[in-house]
Amino acid sequence: MEFTIALDVKAELGEGPIWDAARHRLLFVDIMRGHVHDFDPATGDDRVLDVHEPVSVVVPSTRGDYIIGTQSGFYRMDPADGKTTRIALVDTNIAGNRMNDGYVDSHGRFWAGTMSMMGRVHGSLYRLDPDLRVSRMISGVAVSNGIDWSPDDRLMYYVDTHTGRIDVFDFDAKTGSIANRRPLVNVPHSAGHPDGMIVDAEGFLWLALWAGSAIHRYAPDGRLDRAYPTPMSHPTKCAFGGPDLSDLYVTSASIELKGDARAAQPHAGSLFRAKPGVKGRPAHRFAG
C-alpha cells in the first residue's frame, strides 16, 4: 500500500481524522495549535478554525455543526465561523489534563477521553449523550485514545496507549453500557505505541503506531492481518473517506522530531492518503 501526501499541512500533532459524508470533506485537528481543519480533497481547499486552546477531536452532528473535545471539555462549534459554545467541562480540577481521541457510536453518543500531559494515570473515558449529559465510563486511564465498535454493535474496542494494548468490552448499544473488559491485542513495545484506531467494513481494526512508522490491521480475534510501513514515524489515526469510503487517510505528527530526525522527515505532520483495497464504514454523527 502506497501512501501519498493529500495535504502537506505540517501539523505539530495531527489527529482525529473523520469523513464528513454530508459535505464530502475530511475533518481533523492539530491538537496543541488548537486548530480544526476542514479539508476538501476535491479542490485541495483547507479551512482552519482556531479554537484558541488545545483541541483533540472533532465530530459532525446531526444539527449540522461540530462537537469538539478541547483541553477543558466538550463544546459545540459553528463550522461557518468557528464560534464555540460550551457543553460541559471535564477534568478541569486535574492539573495537566486535556481531552484526547473520541468517536460516536451508532446511537449518536460521543465517547471521548482525557489524558495527563504530565505522564500520570489521571485520565478517564467519558460519554456525552444526545441530551448533553456526561458520564464517566472508565477511570484510571493514562492516555485515552482510539475507540470504535464492531459492525454488529456487540463489542467496543478501546486503546489506553500506555497499556500497549487494544482492549475489548461487551457493549449494549441500547443503553450505552460497557462490561467485561479484556485484552484483545498486545502490541510489542518495539513496534511502537498504540494510538488512534478505526474499524473497517469487514470488522477489522486499523491501528496507528506512534513512533512505530506503521499501520497495523487486526482481525476481530486479535490476529495481526497486515502491517503497512508508513513514510512518517508518528502516524496518529486512520479514517476512511471518499465517495465510496475506499480512501484511507492518515494523520501524523512532527512534534517529537528533533534535529536530524526532523530533517529526514520533511513531510512529517502531513495528511496522507492510500488505497488499501478495503472500505470503511460511514462515521456516525452526534445526535444531540
151 located within any domain: yes
281 located within any domain: no
Q: Is the pLDDT of residue 60 over 90?
A: yes
112 located within any domain: yes
182 located within any domain: yes
Residue located via cell numbers 444531540: 288
Segment 130-162, tens digit of pLDDT: 999 999 999 999 999 999 999 999 999 999 999
pLDDT at 288: 83
Q: Which residues contact 237 (CB under 8 A, 6 or more apart)?
A: 15, 16, 17, 101, 146, 195, 196, 197, 198, 208, 250, 251
The one-letter amino acid at 44: G
How many domains does the structure of the chain reveal? 1
- The set of catalytic residues is 195
Q: Is the pLDDT of residue 78 over 90?
A: yes
- d(CA 246, CA 188) in angstroms, rounded, equals 29
Segment 177-231, tens digit of pLDDT: 999 999 999 999 999 999 999 999 999 999 999 999 999 999 999 999 999 999 9
283 located within any domain: no
286 located within any domain: no
287 located within any domain: no
CA 82 vs CA 29, 85, 203: distances in Å? 13, 10, 34
Q: Which residues contact 190 (CB under 8 A, 6 or more apart)?
A: none
What is the CATH number for 225? 2.120.10.30
The boundaries of the domain holding residue 114 are 4-274
174 located within any domain: yes
- d(CA 129, CA 111) in angstroms, rounded, equals 9
For residue 2, name the pLDDT band (cuts at 50, 70, 90): very high
